Amino acid sequence: MHDLRRKVGLVNGVRYRAEFLALAFKHGLVDDICHYRLWDEGWEELGERTFDTCFEMGDSVQVIAMVVTQAKNERFLDAIRDYCNVPGAFERWLGYANKQPDLF
């Protein structure tokens, strides 16, 4: 994950963004990243800014679809459900994955 921190901002880094988010959700690190706990422990650049970049490069629908698909396959969809705490957000994320089967 630390190796991905500088790749998520690449224009053509959609796979890096999806991988970063998938690892964060799969291993229960979203709060630690977003509250800079990992950074404070010495993992520089693993903070909220890096996490947010994964959604801000113009391909967030594709990134989310990739992460949700991986979460379904690897059984960490509950972590995404917990993150999507605004009514309708989780269903929207599922919809992104259902609309883009040709990506996988």
- What is the reported pTM? 0.92
Domain boundary assignment for the chain: 2-103
Flag whether pLDDT at 102 surpasses 70: no
Q: What is the distance, to the nearest Å, from the Cα of residue 63 to the centroid of all Cα atoms in its chain? A: 7
Band of residue 100 on the pLDDT scale cut at 50, 70, 90? low
CA–CA distance from 58 to each of 7, 13, 48, 74, 79 (Å)?
A: 15, 11, 18, 26, 24
The residue-averaged pLDDT of 13-25 equals 99
